[in-house]
Amino acid sequence: MARWRHARIFGLGDRSNPSAFTPGLILSESDPLLEINLAPFTTHHDSSTLPATLEIESRGNWSFPFGDGDIPKYSATEGHTLPPSLQEANSGQGLSVGALLPVTWQRLVHDTSLIDSELSPEIVVILDAIQLAGHPGRFIQAIHILRERFPGALLWAPGVGGPDNLAILAWFGLDLFDISRSQQAVSHNILLSRDGPRNVDSTTGESSGIEAQIAEWKASISSTRAAISNGTLRELAEKQSLNSPRLVEHLRHHDAMLSESAPLARYVSNGQRFRCHSAVSREDPLVQDWIHRMENFYTPPVEQSEVLILLPCSARKPYSRSQSHRFFRNAIRNRSAHQVIVTSPLGLVPRELEEQWPAAHYDVPVTGDWDADELVTIERMVKNLVERVGYKRVINHSGVPLNLDVDIINTRLEGKGASSKAACAVLQEAVNAAAEDFGLENIREKKLLFHQFSSLSNWQFGTDNWLEGLRVGGKPPRWLLLKDKQQMAQWHPDTGRFSFTKAMLPRLLETNTLRIVEIGGDTPWKGDIFNHMVLSSPSDLRIGEEVLIVRKDELIGSARCLAAGWEWKGGVGRLAKSQHRL
């Protein structure tokens, strides 16, 4: 029903009218009976005989056709579980395989049955989760492997979750939780709150009883589900990570892992925000991905490779819509000078990329001061850009001190704002002087737009070959790309993407601009893309990415991804929404 990175909300039961949701709770026999939309499952553990068995039963009629008695029940043998530190022993034997899949660290390391393509569990239980939680790297790695290996399954790590860490564990990929930690808190007269375990406040008559513990669970589950739905779960996870040093370690390991491999979304709705309210936000893989691509793949328009202008950011996004940048635009009359905005946490944002996610969507506290890490990152990125492009002069209006092996003109006046009349006059003088010194001819607006669209295309698709023979037409802000008088594409500034027409799809295939998803079947393609239809797809598809749909080597249309590539093999729900059918 909703997804954000590895966190999802599943509707359980009839998809047209689900009766329960995740993230949710699994209740044991000793737990109070809670409403079904909060606790969709019950569990029973039997260790009277060896090997022990684990049973999980749903609390609703969730098996098709959803009638009375259609209640899913799961049972599995736990086998032998050794501590994760003994992973070389390979003695975690006897764990069963089926719809309920018990997993330990030893099993992840040694059991080849887990890579069987036919294995499709509905619930995966990390039996040694408590021990793994003491190994931040292994705990995060285990969740990551299982989340992406079994995208259609619900993940449960018994004994680990609580109201104080539910959001961050959901961020990692867990779906189900239990209240065992809260039961322990009751026995110690401790309240396991959303802000961590603490003593009760006697002055307000606060209680540590199970009712108070459950109230914290309800509030935590509600806020987590809401955060997944509106795309703010990262902020909630960052807040919860401060509840314990171990959670901070887990989050750092998770960020490092996703920075290396995660297919992050590159397009979002106009209302989506990326809130960078703490230094922790700089470690978000989204930020690291932007910096990496700027330093290794970004190329500005060739026509703007002589003079670089560094400008300060603005609170309003995209920057061009702010009052300060309107003043800058009036001062910079020559379009041959390349404008790049200096900002935190992204470092650098070229003018032609300012409508991209997350450049057009981030919020950051503005104090006017830069810390050491920000200055190091910005100077490194500027040096890298200058060396790769070969700018002959840098006009620095950002206020950030820079030491570069290139001609630098600092145009910020001490004690004056960047957008002040005096500062803009100095900026205008520096731009005019550079244009005269290097013989820069002013570029016509639509010609510059075409070059910027070419740079944007390379940023989004890795190629701009599809633009050959097209020209810019129409009116701002939704410029058209035309072939003669026929519209082939339109620029959508609110979402930072190109919208292609049906006539454009064959050229996008010929130029390898959009990637291909192959589907099967013989009946006419109707509706959207679901897992059972897909024969092959790239493993690193990104949410929001547009793909070409091919059947039997024939192009039949296009679709827009609703799920990342790891969900396309074994995932549930819609994977892509159809765009065009040929």
pLDDT category, 159, cuts 50, 70, 90? very high
Query: 421: how many CB neighbours lie within 10 A of its CB?
Result: 10
> What is 15-37 written as a DSSP string?
TTS-SEESSEEEE-TTS----TT
In this prediction, residues 444-458 reach a mean pLDDT of 95
Write down which residue in 438, 454, 482 finishes a domain: 438
Structural domain boundaries enclosing 531: 514-582
CA 519, CA 450: separation in Å to the nearest integer? 35
Distances (CA, A) of 325 to 146, 350, 527: 47, 13, 44
Percent of the chain whose predicted confidence (pLDDT) is above 90: 77
Least confident of 86-95, 434-443, 520-529: 86-95
User: Does residue 477 sit in the same domain as residue 574?
Assistant: no
| β-bridge partners, 550 | 518, 555
In this prediction, residues 235-262 reach a mean pLDDT of 91
Residue-wise pLDDT for 98-131, tens only, equals: 999 999 998 898 888 899 989 999 999 999 999 9
* Reported pTM: 0.91
CA 233, CA 236: separation in Å to the nearest integer? 5
Residue-wise pLDDT for 2-22, tens only, equals: 999 999 999 998 888 898 999
CATH label of the domain that carries residue 548: 2.30.130.10
User: Does residue 96 sit in the same domain as residue 233?
Assistant: yes
User: Does residue 365 sit in the same domain as residue 230?
Assistant: no
Does 268 reside within a domain?
A: no
Query: 173: how many CB neighbours lie within 10 A of its CB?
Result: 21
User: Does residue 449 sit in the same domain as residue 380?
Assistant: no
User: Does residue 98 sit in the same domain as residue 34?
Assistant: yes
Q: pLDDT at position 92, please?
A: 52
Does 266 reside within a domain?
A: no
User: Does residue 217 sit in the same domain as residue 354?
Assistant: no
User: Does residue 325 sit in the same domain as residue 294?
Assistant: yes
- Average pLDDT over the chain reads 92
CA 435, CA 308: separation in Å to the nearest integer? 11
Of the chain, the end-to-end C-alpha distance in Å amounts to: 29
CA 74, CA 55: separation in Å to the nearest integer? 6
Does 509 reside within a domain?
A: no
Does 126 reside within a domain?
A: yes
CATH label of the domain that carries residue 420: 3.40.50.10630
Does 503 reside within a domain?
A: no
Q: Has residue 249 got a pLDDT over 60?
A: yes
Residue-wise pLDDT for 199-233, tens only, equals: 999 899 899 999 999 999 999 999 999 999 999 99
User: Does residue 116 sit in the same domain as residue 184?
Assistant: yes
Write down which residue in 396, 417, 438 finishes a domain: 438
User: Does residue 234 sit in the same domain as residue 337?
Assistant: no
In this prediction, residues 275-279 reach a mean pLDDT of 83
Nearest to 337 by CA among 392, 293, 255, 376: 392
Does 45 reside within a domain?
A: yes
Q: pLDDT at position 279, please?
A: 82
pLDDT category, 267, cuts 50, 70, 90? confident
Residue-wise pLDDT for 291-339, tens only, equals: 999 999 998 999 999 999 999 999 999 999 999 999 999 999 999 999 9
Does 78 reside within a domain?
A: yes
User: Does residue 556 sit in the same domain as residue 454?
Assistant: no
User: Does residue 336 sit in the same domain as residue 429?
Assistant: yes
> What domain count does the chain have?
4
Write down which residue in 261, 294, 310 finishes a domain: 261
Are the beta carbons of 338 and 350 closer than 8 angstroms? yes
User: Does residue 282 sit in the same domain as residue 250?
Assistant: no
- Cα–Cα–Cα angle for 562, 563, 566, rounded to 5 degrees: 165
Residue type, 501: T
Q: Has residue 524 got a pLDDT over 80?
A: yes
Does 175 reside within a domain?
A: yes
